[in-house]
Chain A
Amino acid sequence: MTEISRREFIQWGGAGMAAAALSDWVFFKKTLWASPEEQEKLFYHACHICDCNCGMTYQLKNGRIVEMRGNPADTLGAAGKLCVKGYSTPRLYHDPCRLSHPLQRTNPRKGRDQDPAWKIISWDEAFSAIGEQFRRVYDHYGPEAILIFARPKPWDSHLWNAIGTPNQLCHVDTCYINHELVGKTVAGGRIWGWDFSHAKYIIGFGYDQPGKSKNIHQREFMAARRNGAKIVIFDPRLSETAMKADLWIPIRTGTDLAALLAMIHVIIAENLYDKEFVEKYTSGFDKLKTHVAKYTPQWAQKICDVPAQTLVEIARGFGSTRPATLAYHKRDAGGPTYMNSFQTAQAMLVLQALVGSLDRPGGLYYSRTPEMPAVKEVYNLNYPDIADKPRFDDPENITPLVFKTKKAGFSTAADAILKDSKPHVALFHSYNTTSFSNPRHLEEALTKLDFMVNVDMYLTELGMYADIILPENLWIENSGFTARSYQAERPQVMLDEGAPKLHNTKGYGEIANGILAAMKLYDFVVDPKKLAPAQMAAMGLDKDKLRQSGGVFDSGEPFKPKEKFKTPSHQIELYSTVLEKAGHAPMPEWVEPVAKPTPEYPYYIITHHLPWMRMLKNANDPILKDLQCENKAHIHTSVAKKLGVKDKDLVWVKSPVGKIKLMVAVTEGIRPDTIMTEHGFGIWAKGRCQGIGWGQNEGEILPDRTLAEMKSWKRHAAGRGVGICDTTVRITKA
């Protein structure tokens, strides 16, 4: 056959085709009159950069966000002000590095040094490819071979429930699971409100939410400060919160539990507890009294390096001042920071109950989120029963409670994938490898999977292991409502009016249902647009009503302290029957942290989030990045002297997991046996153009856990927390 030349192709075959293809207007339409200048219009939304969900208002002009403020009608949250992260939303919205189209890998080899060679595909093509792979696995290996890494949000839950996989893995065991699980098992609910402004005495253990620029915490905490509350912060480093305290106690890293047990001991031994509250609302006091008799301040002093007399004085002050409260939340000493952190969280709640300030003014309180129907009720769905299906990462049911609350699984994900033949495909929604400690272990596990989907707003490190990437709307492009969970002393609902979508993205409801349709699970495919109106209607609301009330529905219900608690005894169980039944310690017990300094690794390591960063969500913000563009190794003056380094010198920080190179910051505000570095750096997937190459991901030196380890900690690690900082490091001049 004769091959034609380009010239012939153009002349004979292509000319007509070219004329047809090139002559039409693709992007324009004629108008008879000029469009009038668009006026600015006010819209409402809740901020979703963090879970404070502060109400915000924004102005749109010509499809662009031109102004953003805190919504003054959101009296429980923003109260008219946003934090620095909230104000960065317009820059996120207009960020040129956001994902704009579904992408498909064309290079089958996966790894840090492999270019996936993405190509743009349509949503139909993306769903079709995912549906084919997921359905194949569903039919051949069963739904449990499909892993879903996602938060338990409505459409995420819909996806895994409809598929029928028990293997949903969530970040909470690197975040708030301990506090959540302790709240639910010991006291029957989620304790996610802080009335610091009415407290007279506040103690925190590694608590630094104000230092992380959490709007609600900052406002409450500073109100307490102004109102003259006594504030004591236990922390190995002088955190931003500790700087505002009356007393900073540089406790030995990982031993907060000992100090707490000693305080419980003193408060009970000296009859300082709130007798009326304890008698009326708690159970198990006598057992607790006997149990803590051994935890004397002198015993604790040896462990936590805080003088016994100091512990006694603080316990006396705390026990004899009303109202007194602990300040705790997420990744503090009761978070998943150490392998004894579940016990720490439990001890915190017990102490809170002993001083009678659980769900009482001046204390901590339960979220009063409004009642509304779930996806299942709105669409009348009958999901497969997965309650008793074994999880691939907990075949012996070591931590049953954690999987019945908010799920978990990050701590052992890599080990479980590598050791188990069941998982074949996975979907990750808004998680990154940097969300995991020891990310290289996870990356090794991901290469074992047949197929992986990543739903995100950016091309992330995790995306480099994906086969398909689906671009999700930025939250401000979604419409609906947000029910306040932080600081919800009464039910409150905020209107979400989505800004115009700038890219070829979709909301997660569309994505989840698109996948289900592609998997031919038609019984569960629903129209996601109907959910928000149905839920609002069930609350007697609609978007017009919310708009008329300034974007916020505030029930105005007066605070009614709880008289009964959702536990088997309807009381706060100082001796938890739920934990005991599940094979965990019913009362907080001292347990040694895993890591102790050795000659090879002589320092503890702790981490912190900078106030202008929410994990990596803001990492691509050029203005915020300039505030501190890389993380540092914060070391004590004496350590710097010993190493012969000064500010801005480079050091290697090495742990049994890995090593990272950091710039030194010398300070008196840290224990000499501890090094601190900040989270949210070390981007290597260059899809984020701004944050690339700055700093190091501290996760590279932090441990993840094995299934065998988790089994050995069954009694004490009911929350399956990863023990992020339960390792030690060495530091050498680079």
Chain B
Amino acid sequence: MIEFQSLSKTYGSFNAVKPLSLTVQRGEVFGFLGPNGAGKTTTIRMMMGILVPSGGHVLIDGLDCHADAAEVKRHVGYLPDTPIFYDYLRGREILQFVGEMHGFARAEAAERSARLLAEFGLQEAGEDYAVNYSLGMKKRLGLACALIHDPKVLILDEPINGLDPRASREVQERLLAAAARGVTIFVSTHLLDMAEKLCDRVGIIHRGELVATGTLDEIRAEASASGSLEDVFLKITDEAAEETAQ
């Protein structure tokens, strides 16, 4: 469903993402783990056509994310790490706008946004200007925007970062429900317990390089570390740091 073909991004001599090859299967929940500044957001921005790859390709459903940027978006929902919304537009109006931009008729878009606002508990807040939302509300509105066209693929950048326990639980349940419907989810995070609960498979990226992929058990075995994902993560990113240092 998502295919990275030695995708890379350099800024001058700095390698933000080193050639990355990876395949995410249909219906899979893939966790993209890494410490701050590892290249997670850069990778996701390349998937959304916001950044242009320096080398390689990333395909979603067989379509190139750079060359067929507009077509790819028909099947993809995206949530950025900090969603910023228009001044002077209400939550409902933003959702309606996104719906219409996806090609739904006005009535259909209105009906879908009303349903999603209700689902995300934003009915009342929907009549407020979205710039004044708290971070949690912004993330929920962003998620509603990402889901309005029933996408086959969800690309989420730190979806529960900064949310309170209840909100984060709600978001995770919503993601699990989407996964149960067969939606492929590509989620970046540095929150390990979320990855442990949610993901079928994870990839660990460190300093722009994919250092490990597989199910959690496989990664544990590979790192020959027993115990929590946190221990494994710390061990792997530490080793990788040493290798790069040498």
Report whether chain A binds chain B. no
